[in-house]
Structure 1
Amino acid sequence: MPRLPHPAPEDLRRDLLPLRGRTALVTGASRRAGIGHAVARRLAAYGASVYLHHHVPHDSAMPWGADRPEDVTASVLAAVGDPEARVLAGPGDLSEPSAPAELITTAATALGGRLDILVANHALSGSDGDLDTIDAAMLDAHWAVDTRSVLLLVQAYARHRAGLPPRTPGGRVVMMTSGQDIAGGMPGEIAYALQKGALASITRSLATTLAEHAITVNTVNPGPVDTDYATGETYEAVAARFPAGRWGMPDDPARLIAWLATDEADWITGEVVNSEGGFRR
């Protein structure tokens, strides 16, 4: 095989809209304080058309409450870099076995028939405990949302991409893990840690499976991110463990995820990437 030449000078100049013409589905993009919303804004700013998945009943049951989907959509629309790009949104309860495949079809159809980027950001909050308090219902609930639905999304996405011309560029999958394998683990959230660990473990296998279709697969651990769930002394104690003296903000992992979606990250696949700002555990 001949060696590839060095890139031409014009190829080295960064495109201000590196995702122009690409399409993306971001799951769990239902709160303006969340990582999903930040990722969607970055992808839109880079030129992509974006479909926002939300499940309002989940957030409504949490202490932080839910945003109106139209408000989240408007915020992402305000960041759009390509005037021809679109931002759309729709609901989905991904604990339902049929929902992941339906969501891929819905998003691809809404975005013009092709889906390039899948960011599986959603997760189940609450319904968890330590080793002494977890039960079968907790484990099953986290399995259904945090792991099973992600794998079914990737499966449906891969089948969709298989129907496109061979090696269509732009195929990207980004999953989310949570630092459960780093020092200390997550002993108070056994069900969540178990399922997020499964995604980290399957990353390499999925990347190998989808390489022939020119799809990269990577998983990001965003570290502690301020999504409005911690306050008071807890908040200050966590902030002090970052060298920068602050929590991660949603746009911190969003910048990494958006870069992984560009052609600049074409050579990065099968990796679990920590984006923790030097957090000292």
Structure 2
Amino acid sequence: MPLYPDPAPAALRRDPLPLRGRTALVTGASRRGGIGYAVARRLAAYGASVYLHHHVPHDAAQPWGADPAGPEAVAAGVREALGDPAARVCHGPGDLADSAVPAALMGAAAEALGGRIDILVANHALSGLDGTLDEIDAAVLDAHWAVDTRSVLLLIQAYARQRAAMAEPAPGGRVVMMTSGQDIAGGMPQEIAYGLAKGALASATRSLASGLADLAVTVNTVNPGPVDTDYLTGEDYQRVAERFPAGRWGMPDDPARLIAWLATDEAEWITGQVVDSEGGFRR
């Protein structure tokens, strides 16, 4: 008998609701045009209950603005995708620049979804307030570090403590972080602070994966590449589109499909990886 026998045929058939009974926290899910919203819809479609984090003042200050119908409309869109009628979609605010908020957010999400979070997708980020090496200052560096790096690590810390407190860890522990391809050819010379903060997450991926392995948690980081989240228009938009072999930008559901798969049991052997999901983008 082989040491690792082939799985039974029934185990090879894809479960249409592979996340049934599991819970997820998705941060930065405040706009229906964003990646966080697309990820939440995919997780919900796979059967998970989902808690959506939002920080509307951040989006309201950006050129694209906040979702015109507000967080409840975002949650309603995720509810429409629910694959399991017993699953729930909840939402709540949080300014992750405040070092006390990550742990509080994790607690609120767990309480809302029945006492635990199985899947953490840290999708949020600080947009703007950046520049070249000559343009940035200490305040800019600190702002991006606080939101893009520190808050993610504190969220993962709170998540890990919650897992460690369980009598027996629930199956399907997953952490997915987001990076931005700052280490690929050309880098991000116009966004030094953002690229540095996101690069720290990519650098920490293997360490976090090793540290959380005993809690039955996988940790991976996704670089979604250029995704159309309504931040660029006109000739600049078209120039970027032409650099994709398919002739189009990535859309929010493109990285969302990868992230949702990483959350399933099919991806339980994938951990400590930084995965580029760029559609062949030519830098």
TM-score over 0.5 for the pair: yes
Question: Could you tell me how far apart the structure 2 residues matched to 1:209 and 1:34 are?
Answer: 30
Question: Could you tell me how far apart the structure 2 residues matched to 1:8 and 1:194 are?
Answer: 46
Offset from partner CA, 1:195-234 (integer Å, 9 cap, x none): 0000000000000000011100000000000000000110
The SS at the match of 2:36 is helix
The SS at the match of 2:115 is coil
Q: Residue 152 in 1 paired to residue 140 in 2?
A: no
Residue of structure 2 equivalent to 1:127? 129
Residue of structure 2 equivalent to 1:210? 212
Which residues of 2 match residues 110-259 of structure 1 at below 5 A? 110-259=112-261
Question: Could you tell me how far apart the structure 1 residues matched to 2:144 and 2:13 are?
Answer: 44
Q: Are the equivalent residues in 2 in contact too, given 1:166–1:213 (CA < 8 A)?
A: no
Question: Could you tell me how far apart the structure 2 residues matched to 1:4 and 1:195 are?
Answer: 41
Residue of structure 2 equivalent to 1:28? 28
Residue of structure 2 equivalent to 1:62? 62
Residue of structure 2 equivalent to 1:10? 10
Question: Could you tell me how far apart the structure 1 residues matched to 2:167 and 2:31 are?
Answer: 35
Offset from partner CA, 1:32-80 (integer Å, 9 cap, x none): 0000000000000000000000000000000111110011001001111
Residue of structure 1 equivalent to 2:45? 45
CA shift, 1:138, in A, is: 0.3
Residue of structure 2 equivalent to 1:100? 102
Question: Could you tell me how far apart the structure 2 residues matched to 1:210 and 1:97 are?
Answer: 22
CA shift, 1:165, in A, is: 3.1
Runs of 4+ in 1 over 2 A off after TM superposition: 165-168
Q: CA RMSD in A?
A: 0.8
Offset from partner CA, 1:134-190 (integer Å, 9 cap, x none): 000000000000000000000000000111233431100000000000000000000
Question: Could you tell me how far apart the structure 2 residues matched to 1:257 and 1:28 are?
Answer: 15
TM-score by length of 1: 0.99
Query: For residue 57 of structure 1, what is the amino acid of its counterpart?
Result: P
The SS at the match of 1:134 is coil
Query: For residue 29 of structure 2, what is the amino acid of its counterpart?
Result: A
Question: Could you tell me how far apart the structure 2 residues matched to 1:121 and 1:272 are?
Answer: 14
The SS at the match of 1:277 is coil
Question: Could you tell me how far apart the structure 1 residues matched to 2:131 and 2:238 are?
Answer: 24
Q: Are the equivalent residues in 2 in contact too, given 1:167–1:212 (CA < 8 A)?
A: no
Query: Structure 1 vs Structure 2: percent identity of aligned residues?
Result: 79
Question: Could you tell me how far apart the structure 1 residues matched to 2:281 and 2:154 are?
Answer: 32
CA shift, 1:5, in A, is: 1.8
CA shift, 1:3, in A, is: 2.4
Question: Could you tell me how far apart the structure 1 residues matched to 2:170 and 2:63 are?
Answer: 43
Q: Which runs of 5+ in 2 are unaligned?
A: none
CA shift, 1:26, in A, is: 0.1
CA shift, 1:4, in A, is: 2.8
Task: Tell me the number of residue pairs that the alignment of Structure 1 and Structure 2 aligns.
Answer: 280
Question: Could you tell me how far apart the structure 2 residues matched to 1:61 and 1:7 are?
Answer: 52
Q: Are the equivalent residues in 2 in contact too, given 1:128–1:189 (CA < 8 A)?
A: yes
Which residues of 2 match residues 71-86 of structure 1 at below 5 A? 71-86=73-88
Q: Are the equivalent residues in 2 in contact too, given 1:34–1:250 (CA < 8 A)?
A: yes
